Amino acid sequence: TLAWTEVESRHTADVQIVALDGRVIQTLPNTANHSKVDVSGIPAGQYIVVANASGITAQVPLLIVR
């Protein structure tokens, strides 16, 4: 399970899990600030979590190991 918390609680974010080759693996529109995402259906590998809230984009590496 992928989980995150944001300090600013009045915003939601559009979140994508993106493979290193650019393929969008999962899209989570209007995701709440305190969220958990089930990644059990995503194969092991390296990904980038891209979150966009109010025009600000953040990218965080994600490593799924089975």
Residues 10 and 46 sit within 8 Å (Cβ to Cβ): no
Q: Give the pLDDT confidence of 23-42 residue by residue, as tens digits.
A: 999 998 877 766 778 899 99
The rounded distance, in Å, linking the Cα atoms of 43 and 27 is 16
pLDDT at 8 over 60: no
Model pTM score: 0.79
pLDDT at 55: 84
Please give the structure tokens belonging to residue 34: 């305190």
Cα angle for residues 35, 11, 48 (degrees, 5° grid): 55
Q: Quickly state the pLDDT bin for 7 (edges 50, 70, 90).
A: very low
